[in-house]
Homo-oligomer: A and B are copies of this chain.
Amino acid sequence: MGISRGALLTDQYQLTMAQLYFRHGLHERDARFEHFFRRYPDYGEHEAGYAINAGWGWLGRWADRARFGAAERDALRAHRVEGHRLFSNDFIEWLGGVSWDALRFEAIPEGRVAHANVPLTVVEGPLGVAQILETSLLNHLNFHTLVATKASRVVEATRGGAVLEFGLRRAPDEGGIAATRAALIGGVSASSNVGISHEMGVMPQGTHAHSMVQVFMALGDGELGAFRAYADMYPDECILLVDTIDSLESGIPNAITVFEELRAGGHDPVGIRLDSGDLAHLSVLASQMLDSAGFEEVHIVLSSGLDELTIFQILTQITDEAPRYGADPDRVIRRLLYGVGTKMATSDGRPYLDGVYKLVAIADRDEWRPAIKVSDTPAKIVNPGRKRVHRLYDQRGLATVDLMGLADERLGFPLEVRHHRETGIGRTLDESRVSATEELLEPATLAAPSDDPAVVAEARKRRVSDLERLDPGVKRLVNPHVYHVSVTRRLADLKTRLIEETL
């Protein structure tokens, strides 16, 4: 395995900074870092209005194997610059004793709706240890949340259809394993990715590839021979890929022939898969051909470059086009399943979440001192201090604002809130407009059993529950309504004061 996946899955500067803290006796000092993202994914012609938080259990899996063991320490000892060692023996020895258990965590649970500029994860503990964790935390959480968010949009676009995740072949190397887990949290029904699906307790699924039909064609048995062989082998899970030659002229008629044979043998065929051509148009015609042959329960699996916008457009086209062929569009749509691969597993259009991990406070004797970063780009100014986050629900029971306040602050009504960045803009919330309030950050541990299928199952439920309580405008695929993220008056005042003191 080498040393690339363990504790050295980090950036060099984390280690050089940690050594500096060690040398200055700052490494054990209590520090607080907050992880948040600044912008929802914007895919170019469409954008997210919310994110699905995910990845904590996956980070735990890394942490479980991430130790500065002998191999890691040997590598660091071997790092020389112009003849001299970069890392000293005493620092390397200290690394050998580092345990993530020294840190205290709070996190928004996996599967919950999360918003930009709100802390998703909080890390408190010895500065040296918390600093070293940064890279891997961001690496694991950013991508997980990115893909869970994309998957949630894809699932929402189907209007209740089932999505199968198929992306491993073009997913980003073994990041594709995380992509599958994240897509499950984001709401897909199953994945083709075998190993991780078994680990997560969701049986993998699949159909067959063109190559199987090609084999039988090259050997003289043709597409029909291939379909018969597949139906014979998998009589109760039979989904046939119909576009190796020509879907309408060859694939669907051959599939119907085989389905009739299956039925005669007492089996129920499951579906056909369309993988090229005009998927909307072909769905309407295929649906009619299947109905005419008496296979009204057979599904139609669509695949080939699907994402949420493509699915939205396909369903719109079916709604327009089906009546012209005398078909009921709702019936066509209800029988559709979706194989979504590359564009979900890579979050095509915005392949990264801009999540950061920022120091917001550091202890000085018994007192926490808020920390700030100003920078030459105003959007990069950090909200300072130790914070709590509340989600407020309106009279309809829908989430209306995520509100950051200081850790020792109690909320009281009327509540004066400010925009999280333009803190000069504010409004006042009356108690009558708020039906419920909850804290978003919960105590968390990296030692949770991350392989437990229940972790993913719980996260899937949280997503469904949170989306039910999210304004439809915020869920819109294109140009969504902007969800309110606010700070309390006290936090706004602290930020203003710190900026003034810095500049």
CB within 8 Å of B: which residues of A?
1-17, 19-21, 23-24, 26, 31, 33, 44, 58, 62, 65, 72, 75, 78-79, 81-82, 84, 86, 127, 131, 134-135, 138-140, 142-144, 166, 168-179, 192-199, 203-215, 217-219, 229-230, 233-234, 236-237, 243-247, 275-277, 282, 304, 342-343, 346-348, 351-355, 357-359, 361-362, 364, 369-377, 380, 451, 502-503
Q: Whole-angstrom distance between the alpha carbons of A415 and B3 in the complex?
A: 51
Known: A172-B172, A245-B503. A215 touches B143 (CB 8 A): no
User: Known contacts A17-B208, A44-B44, A215-B362; can you find 20 more A-B pairs with CB under 8 A?
Assistant: A3-B195, A5-B177, A13-B207, A16-B206, A16-B234, A19-B233, A20-B233, A78-B198, A144-B173, A171-B175, A171-B352, A172-B175, A172-B179, A173-B175, A173-B177, A217-B371, A217-B372, A218-B370, A243-B375, A246-B376
Determine if B198 and A127 form an interchain contact, defined as CB atoms under 8 angstroms apart: no
Among B275, B352, B358, the residue within 8 A (CB) of A348 is: B352
Determine if A139 and B171 form an interchain contact, defined as CB atoms under 8 angstroms apart: yes
Q: Whole-angstrom distance between the alpha carbons of A205 and B386 in the complex?
A: 32
In the complex formed, the residue of B with least CB distance to A275 is: B375
In the complex formed, the residue of B with least CB distance to A88 is: B233
Determine if B351 and A11 form an interchain contact, defined as CB atoms under 8 angstroms apart: no
CB neighbours of A503 from chain B (8 A)? 245-246
Q: Whole-angstrom distance between the alpha carbons of A151 and B377 in the complex?
A: 26
Copies per complex of this chain: 2
CB neighbours of A78 from chain B (8 A)? 198
| Chain B nearest Cβ from A238, distance in angstroms | 11
Determine if A236 and B82 form an interchain contact, defined as CB atoms under 8 angstroms apart: yes
Among B44, B237, B373, the residue within 8 A (CB) of A86 is: B237
CB neighbours of A371 from chain B (8 A)? 214-215, 217-218
In the complex formed, the residue of B with least CB distance to A10 is: B194
Determine if B215 and A26 form an interchain contact, defined as CB atoms under 8 angstroms apart: yes
17 contacts between A and B (CB under 8 A): A6-B195, A11-B169, A15-B194, A16-B233, A139-B169, A139-B176, A144-B173, A171-B172, A210-B358, A210-B359, A211-B358, A215-B371, A218-B361, A218-B364, A246-B503, A276-B377, A304-B377
In the complex formed, the residue of B with least CB distance to A213 is: B373
Determine if A17 and B212 form an interchain contact, defined as CB atoms under 8 angstroms apart: yes
In the complex formed, the residue of B with least CB distance to A247 is: B376
Q: Whole-angstrom distance between the alpha carbons of A2 and B174 in the complex?
A: 14
Among B2, B31, B168, the residue within 8 A (CB) of A451 is: B2
Determine if A139 and B237 form an interchain contact, defined as CB atoms under 8 angstroms apart: no
